[in-house]
Amino acid sequence: MYRSIRIRRFRCFRDITLDKLLPVNLIAGHNNAGKTALLEAILLHCGATDPELVLRINVSRGMRIQHADTTKGQAPWDCIFHNLDCSNPVEISGVDVDGKSRWLKLISLSKGFSTGDIGDRNGTGEPAYSHIASSKPRGLALRLEYGSEESTGQVDLELRGNKTYMAHVDDSAPPPLPAIFIASHWRGEGNDVVERFSKLSIERRAQPVVDVARLLEPRLRDLSVNVQSGSPVLWADVGLPELLPIQYLGDGIGRALSLAAGIATFPDGIVLVDEVDAGLHHSAFYRLWKAIVELATKLNVQLFATTHSHECLVAARKVAQEFAFPVLRFHRLDRIDDNVEAVTYDDEGLDAAIAADLEVR
Amino acid sequence: MQLFEPTRPKLILVEGREEELFIPAFLKHLKLPGIETKSFGGKTNLGPFLKGLVRQASFRRRVESLGVVRDADENPAAAWDSVIGAMQRAELQPPEEPGEPGKGRPRTNVLIMPDGVRPGMLEDACLESLRGNPVLECVDKLFECAQELGEPLPKSLPKAKVYAFLATRQNPGRRIGETAGSGVWPFDSPAFQPLQRFLCSL
């Protein structure tokens, strides 16, 4: 579990530190203040030895490898560098509750290798001879250097054409921290939740997930995974003659399921949730937070969740007050000139702000 | 629900609802624009309130001058120390002396009602401002009469007298704050001079 995280030169962050972290960390801020970027940075730090995470966080934002113009030397990971300045590495470091630190550095490299078949850029198999450059584009690579007090390591992600290759330089890497990023949108068609629920069912650990879903749909008796048209689907028994695909029960239930399944799947891990309140009616916040916080503390999961909702924050704080130990910390990201700063509230300040109807988001 | 965040460069924090209504009426009388007033919810809440306030993005971006108005009650020195301590805990630079604004950013100033020197509260200043008003004689006699009948005096006699006076107005039952904008209180009275000086200093 993190006690503090420092992020330098990643996306909108020139240099930001979040400290006094607790099991549940709620993050607010205006649009474009860096809330999602913060979660991405933590995810990268957790999976420091997996360079493809850098590409996956871009895919989560709708950006794919093909969107980078490599003939101009653009790499699909350029946008992770602060102000698009690839000459300065991204650095993310974290200290856990035992005082141990782990770090990750992301360095943009330009390698002197050929990019391979020119024709591959179009994806049609035919060479693109309408534009012929005087020199071939240089290969692009991203180096990840990572380490802890016990060990260090390095891995390169190379981009040649539309394909990526991973080159391990040193294999003495610290194990990754189990972590999951739950995006703000629940479309219901992804297999992630279904897979996770399926795994939990096999391990007989799915009941807490069903219990959480039942908070939003009291008719729910059970959930099960069954195949429809060749694809696994999560089905809900709400007492009707037939089961219903979970998508028919609305975004709120999907959100709750994502959250609960994520926590249940990653004990002793980190769960990152973007817009935790998405799709949820304000009347559900207290019940959901109570279930989620109890599940997370029971499984030793650290939660980082972003929100725009005042009611969500108030409900979370109300739940936190029922615990005998500190469980919730509220942080707000403020964009000040070229940088983003984290403002952290202690319990006293947050409670007074809420009681006085002060805006804190 | 409308959540509060400062929208003006000058902000006055007051103890409660009465002051939250009274001060804006007084500011209007003084023709001092650009000053916002907000209650911090009681004297024991000032510390936590300031901690929450100073972390607001709007506060950090907008507020250049912050004033705190608190009642002295029985001990003006203790009230002053309490406000100063709350400011320090919120990492604000407080004023060093009564009547002198602090030098930090935002500039801070503190007024302990009724005048920074005597015990009392806003109601004392209101009562003092009525000196010479013949209705006050009736109010005094009311309490003398009650005392003669064996009734104990109210805990706060000035407060009781102020509300007895307000009960003689055309719309009885209104509180100090609600009457502030209706000409009941002679804002030019010397009793309100300390408040006027404080508001002009922000």
Quickly state the pLDDT bin for A169 (edges 50, 70, 90): low
Whole-complex ipTM: 0.78
Indicate which of A282, A332, A336, A359 best probes the interface with B, i.e. most B CBs within 10 Å of its own CB: A359
What residues of A are in contact with residue B53 (Cβ under 8 Å)? 353, 358
Looking at the structure, tell me whether residues B78 and B28 fall in a common domain.
Answer: yes
Considering the domain architecture, whether residues A191 and A216 belong to the same structural domain is answered as yes
Q: How many domains does chain B have?
A: 2
When CB atoms are compared, the residue of A334, A354, A358 closest to B53 is A358
Q: How many CB atoms within 10 Å of residue A179?
A: 22
Which residues in chain B are contacts of A35 at CB distance < 8 A? none
The domain boundary residue, chosen from A108, A143, A170: A170
Contacts of A258 (CB under 8 A, 6+ apart): A182, A186, A192, A193, A273
**Other C-beta atoms within 10 Å of A228: how many?**
9
pLDDT grade, residue A117 (50/70/90)?
Answer: very low
Task: Decide if pLDDT at B52 tops 70.
Answer: yes
Same domain, B90 and B55: yes
CB within 8 A of A17, min separation 6: which ones?
A4, A5, A6, A7, A342
Reported as a single tens digit per residue, the pLDDT across A273-320 is: 999 998 888 888 999 999 999 999 999 999 999 999 999 999 999 999
- How close, in Å, is residue A73 to chain B by CA atoms? 39
State which amino acid sits at residue B64: E
Distances (CA, A) of A237 to A199, A241, A359: 19, 9, 41
Q: Are A325 and A40 in contact (CB under 8 A)?
A: no
Does residue A359 have a pLDDT over 50?
yes
Question: Do A46 and A270 contact (CB within 8 A), yes or no?
Answer: yes
Kindly list the strands in the beta sheet with B10-14, ordered across the sheet, starting from the edge strand earlier in the chain. B35-39, B10-14, B65-71, B107-113
Helix, strand or coil for residue A37?
A: helix
On whether both A130 and A186 belong to a single domain, the answer is: no
Do B51 and A349 lie within an 8 Å CB cutoff? Answer: yes
| Burial class of B201 by CB neighbour count within 10 A (0 to 12, 13 to 18, 19+) | middle
Q: What's the domain range around B127?
A: 122-176
Q: How high is the pLDDT of residue B29?
A: 93
Chain segment B86-105, per-residue pLDDT in tens: 999 999 999 998 888 998 99
Contact A359 B41 (CB under 8 A): no
Residue A79's alpha-carbon distances to A63, A68, A171, in angstroms, are: 10, 10, 27
Quick: pLDDT tens for A332-347: 999 988 889 999 999 9
CA distance to partner chain B, nearest, from residue A5 (Å): 20
The answer to whether the CB of B137 falls within 8 A of the CB of B129 is: no
CA A282 to chain centroid, in Å, comes to 23
Q: Which residues from A are below 8 Å from B45, CB to CB?
A: 352, 355-356
Classify residue B194: in a domain, yes or no.
yes
Residues A276 and A253 in one domain: yes
Cβ-Cβ contacts under 8 Å for A142 (sequence gap 6 or more): A51, A54, A75, A77, A106, A107, A108, A109, A156, A157
**Are residues B53 and B142 located together in one domain of the fold?**
no
State chain A's mean pLDDT as an integer.
85
- Report residue A170's pLDDT band, with 50, 70 and 90 as the boundaries: low
Measured in angstroms, the CA of B92 and the nearest CA of chain A are apart by 14
Give the one of B4, B45, B47 whose C-beta lies nearest to A359's C-beta. Answer: B4
The total of structural domains in chain A comes to 2
B104 and B30 together in one domain: yes
Can you tell me the mean pLDDT for A349-357?
90
Inside any domain, residue B111: yes
Statement to judge: residues B30 and B52 lie in one domain: yes
Write the burial class of residue B23 (CB in 10 Å: 0-12 exposed, 13-18 middle, 19+ buried): buried
Are B48 and A349 in contact (CB < 8 Å)?
yes
Same domain, B38 and B83: yes
Query: Would residue A1 count as lying in a domain?
Result: no
Q: Are residues A282 and A228 in the same domain?
A: yes
Q: Do B56 and A359 touch (CB under 8 A)?
A: yes
- Can you give the CATH number for the domain in which A273 is found? 3.40.50.300
Residue B155 belongs to some domain of the structure: yes
Regarding beta strands B107-113 and A90-96, do their DSSP bridges make them parallel or antiparallel, or are they unpaired?
Answer: unpaired
Residues A186, A165 within the same domain? no
Nearest-CA residue of chain A relative to B15? A356
Residue B26 sits in the same domain as residue B67 = yes
Q: Do A359 and B58 touch (CB under 8 A)?
A: yes
Q: Are residues B69 and B82 in the same domain?
A: yes
Residue A10 lies in a domain: no
Residue of B nearest to A333 (CA): B57
Is B63 in the same domain as B149? Answer: no
- Structure tokens given for A96: 């856990």
Which of A170, A190, A221 is the C-terminal boundary of a domain? A170
The answer to whether residue A81 is domain-embedded is: yes
Question: CA B39, CA A194: separation in Å to the nearest integer?
Answer: 51
Whether pLDDT at A187 is above 90: no
Q: Would A124 be classed as within a structural domain? A: yes
In a shared domain, residues A191 and A314: yes
Pairs of residues, one from chain A and one from chain B, whose beta carbons lie less than 8 Å apart: 67
Give the tens place of pLDDT for each residue, A217-227. Answer: 899 999 999 98
Residues of chain A in contact with residue B38, where contact means CB-CB under 8 angstroms, are 356
To the nearest whole Å, the CA of A128 is away from the closest chain B CA by: 52
Q: Do B52 and A332 touch (CB under 8 A)?
A: no
Contact between chains at A349 and B1 (C-beta distance less than 8 A):
no
Residues of A with CB under 8 A from a CB of B: 30, 310, 332, 334, 343, 345-346, 348-360
Whether residues A103 and A250 share a domain: the answer is: no
Q: For residues B81 and B119, what is the distance between their CA atoms, to the nearest angstrom? A: 14
Residues of A in contact with B3 (CB under 8 A): 310, 357-360
- A151 neighbors A233 (Cβ within 8 angstroms): no
DSSP class of residue B44? G
The answer to which of A69-83, A228-242, A320-334, B123-137 has the lowest mean pLDDT is: A69-83
| Secondary element (H or E) of residue B71 | strand B65-71
Bridge partners of A158, per DSSP, are: A141, A165
A189/A153 same-domain check: no
**Residue B171 scores a pLDDT above 90:** no
Judgement on whether residues A140 and A226 belong to the same structural domain of the protein: no
> Residue A301: enclosing H or E segment and its boundaries?
none
The pLDDT value given to residue A176? 81
Sheet holding A244-245, edge to edge: A222-228, A231-237, A244-245
Task: Say whether both B18 and B112 belong to one domain.
Answer: yes
Domain end, chosen from A170, A197, A231, is at A170
Mean pLDDT, to the nearest integer, of B24-53? 93
The whole-number average pLDDT for the span A25-53 is 93
Dist. CA A82–CA A15, nearest whole Å = 10
Q: Tell me which chain A residue has its CA closest to the CA of residue B54.
A: A349
Does A123 share its domain with A159? yes
Residue A177 has pLDDT above 60, yes or no: yes
* A6 in a structural domain: no
A59: domain range? 48-170
The contacts found for A198-206 with CB under 8 angstroms, 24 or more apart, are A198/A225, A198/A232, A199/A265, A200/A261, A200/A264, A200/A265, A201/A225, A205/A264, A206/A264
Same domain, A55 and A183: no
C-alpha distance from B17 to closest chain A C-alpha (Å): 12
Looking at residue A238, what DSSP letter applies? -
Q: Residues B65, B83: one domain? A: yes
Does B37 share its domain with B116?
yes
Could you say which DSSP state residue A77 is in?
T
- 8 Å CB contact of B49 and A345: no
- Looking at chain A, which runs of residues are DSSP E strands? 2-10, 13-18, 24-29, 90-96, 101-111, 139-148, 152-160, 163-170, 179-182, 222-228, 231-237, 244-245, 270-273, 302-306, 328-336, 339-345
Nearest to B81 by CA among B92, B95, B67: B95
3-state secondary structure of A246: helix
Which residues on adjacent β-strands are paired with residue A101? A95
Looking at the fold, whether A260 and A318 belong to one and the same domain comes out as yes
**In chain B, % of residues over pLDDT 90:** 80
User: Which of B13, B14, B55 has the highest number of chain A CBs within 10 A, making it the mutation to test binding with A?
Assistant: B55
Degrees to nearest 5, angle at CA A140 with A139 and A144 = 135
